[in-house]
Amino acid sequence: MPLVANSDLPTFKRLEEEGETIVQGDDAIHQDIRELHIGLLNMMPDAALAATERQFFRLVGEANQIAQFYMHPFTLDALQRGPEACAHIQQYYETFDQIKEKGLDALIITGANVSQPDLSLEPFWQPLIEVIDWAYENVTSTLCSCLATHAVLQFRYTQKRRPLGFKQWGVYSHRVVDRMHPLVIGANTRFDVPHSRFNQIDRSQFDAAGLHVLVESEEAGVHLAVSEDLFRLVFFQGHPEYDIISLLKEYKREVIRFVRRERPDYPPMPENYFPLKIAAILEEHKERVQHAFNRGDQITELPESLIIPELDNTWHDSAEAVINNWIGKVYQITSSDRRLPFMDGVNPNDPLDLK
């Protein structure tokens, strides 16, 4: 069902150009279809701000529910931004106060770049806790992505993430470990998920927190887990929202960092992502870059025009299935005034009957 272009946010036009169904706000109000309001707390750095909007908006818009999806992006003032990103946020984003006043049916919280050894030292730590605590009491379900998952596990469940000592980077095979849970009904029992992180919450930590693991990988660990009430909090540790070229862009950024002497070594390629032919091309490019780097010559650019047509997206359909199930459950248990089930006499500590 369609996203509603409820603002002039350029992401709507970009998605429409890509073939997504977008309904203009004036048209939407004349359709007799129930609306769902979904917040996006976008904590990604400036360079990834708009791309992250598109990735999560696209997943929501492709959910097969009879509803109009109103997206409400917002961010945290504690995150440092450049002038261009600040102008984008000022023009198109809502404030957290506006979000609280209007209310939400569901909330997505993205990852973020960090610079401190402990998440509690980050400037966004307290504002993020405020958002998550508010959402826990006022929003039917909150989906936490990557860094947001690590933050919630630390402050709500006292489980600190573990440094890996390397970057877990690539596309990894995962297996559904609870095939009857409503969030994975209809999804493939084995599917790929991209990961990109230096830290991890281990399976033992999810178990110690009383959380329910739904999807995990032998190589990359837990990807999908849910809170003890089955639905209030949903945790992604991977990045199923990634575009087909997201890891390529990350790899290119790391190559540029090497050229600028911002990292000492040439970056390894993401695992299980580049086909063998492309990996060979990139090895040749690496040799040329290192040779030019040592001689002080001009660096040749990454041959993206050769790479992109050979890349495969092996994760989007399964990501779409999970998001579809998530939104479907939000749709089923919320009413038009967006009251949570426990507001009507249901004990918030009792599991929700979602099956």
Catalytic site residue from 53, 62, 241, 250: 241
pLDDT for position 26: 67
Nearest CA among 51, 49, 57, 48 for reference residue 7? 57
Residues 149 and 294 in one domain: no
What is the number of other CB atoms lying within 10 angstroms of the CB of residue 160? 16
Total domains in the fold of the chain? 2
Residues 52 and 200: their CA atoms lie apart, in Å, by 21
Whether residue 266 is found in the same domain as residue 234: no
pLDDT at 225 over 90: yes
- Give the domain range for residue 81: 3-243+315-342
Answer yes or no: 146 catalytic: yes
Percent of the chain whose pLDDT exceeds 90: 73
Separation CA 228–CA 233 (nearest Å)? 8
Between 65 and 338, name the one with better pLDDT.
Answer: 65
Could you give the angle at the alpha carbon of 222 between the alpha carbons of 216 and 223, nearest 5°? Answer: 85
State the average pLDDT over residues 81-102.
96
Is residue 24 over pLDDT 70? yes
Indicate if 71 and 35 belong to the same structural domain: yes
Residue 355 lies in a domain: no
| Confidence band of 349 (pLDDT split at 50, 70, 90) | very low
What confidence tier does 29 reach under pLDDT thresholds 50, 70, 90? low
Q: Is residue 256 part of a domain?
A: yes
* CATH code for position 207: 3.40.50.880
Average of per-residue pLDDT values in the chain: 89
> Do 178 and 196 belong to one domain?
yes
- The catalytically annotated residue of 37, 53, 122, 146 is 146
Q: Are residues 320 and 272 in the same domain?
A: no
Residues 193, 159 share a domain: yes
Would 350 be classed as within a structural domain? no
The answer on 222 and 271 residing in a single domain is no
* Same domain flag for 125 and 56: yes
Do residues 325 and 303 share a domain?
Answer: no
Are β-strands 3-5 and 22-24 bridged in parallel, bridged antiparallel, or unpaired?
Answer: parallel
Clarify whether 310 is annotated catalytic.
no
pTM: 0.86
CA 75 – CA 170 distance, rounded (Å):
27
Instruction: Give the per-residue pLDDT at 344.
Output: 47
Residues 226 and 283 in one domain: no
What's the pLDDT score for residue 331? Answer: 82
Catalytic residue among 37, 239, 285, 316: 239
- Top pLDDT among 332 and 135 is at 135
241 included as an active-site residue: yes
pLDDT at 345: 43
Please determine, for residue 351, whether its predicted confidence score (pLDDT) is greater than 80.
no
Q: Are residues 117 and 193 in the same domain?
A: yes
88 or 62, greater pLDDT: 88
- Please tell me the predicted confidence (pLDDT) of residue 305: 93
Q: Please indicate, yes or no, if residue 154 is contained in any of the structural domains.
A: yes
Residue 351 lies in a domain: no
**35 vs 110, more confident:** 110
210, pLDDT greater than 50: yes
pLDDT of 248 above 70: yes
Considering the chain, what percentage of its residues have pLDDT values greater than 70? 90
Q: In this structure, is residue 347 part of a structural domain?
A: no
Residue 185 has what pLDDT?
86
Claim to verify: residue 56 and residue 78 sit in the same structural domain: yes
**What region, left, alpha or beta, does residue 5 occupy, with left being phi > 0 and alpha being psi -120 to 50 degrees?**
beta
- Residue 109's pLDDT band (cuts 50, 70, 90): very high
